[in-house]
């Protein structure tokens, strides 16, 4: 005998589809949209709180990684510019 059918889980109904994130900014946008969807799902408040907590942690990690990525890019640009200046100095003496 099959178990009785239960109502669909509100956290898994009508989920928006997203294309895979291409960068950290798009990942943050997807996570933010997921938080909004979960909060408006009508699911059990404890499940909502747990889901939002997990998503918020992921959002913070993506934000921190994005900040580090931007800082590293700025350092690399600065290094490249200084290296060019040094090479030019050596060539022109």
Has residue 60 been placed in a domain?
A: yes
Least confident range from 10-14, 26-30, 33-37, 77-81: namely 10-14
Has residue 24 been placed in a domain?
A: no
Q: What is the pLDDT of residues 46-86, one digit of tens each?
A: 999 999 999 999 999 888 888 888 889 899 999 988 888 88
Has residue 70 been placed in a domain?
A: yes
CA 85/CA 39 separation, integer angstroms: 53
How many domains would you assign to the chain?
Answer: 1
Give residue 51's domain range: 44-93
User: Which pLDDT belongs to residue 93?
Assistant: 67
Has residue 49 been placed in a domain?
A: yes
């Amino acid at each position: 005998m099959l178990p009785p059918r239960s109502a669909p889980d509100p956290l898994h109904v009508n989920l928006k589809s997203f294309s895979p994130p291409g960068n950290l900014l798009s990942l943050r946008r997807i996570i933010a949209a997921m938080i909004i969807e979960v909060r408006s799902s009508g699911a059990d408040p404890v499940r909502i709180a747990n889901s939002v907590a997990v998503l918020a942690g992921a959002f913070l990690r993506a934000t921190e990684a994005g900040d580090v990525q931007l800082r590293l890019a700025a350092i690399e640009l600065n290094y490249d510019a200084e290296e060019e200046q040094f090479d030019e100095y050596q060539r022109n003496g």
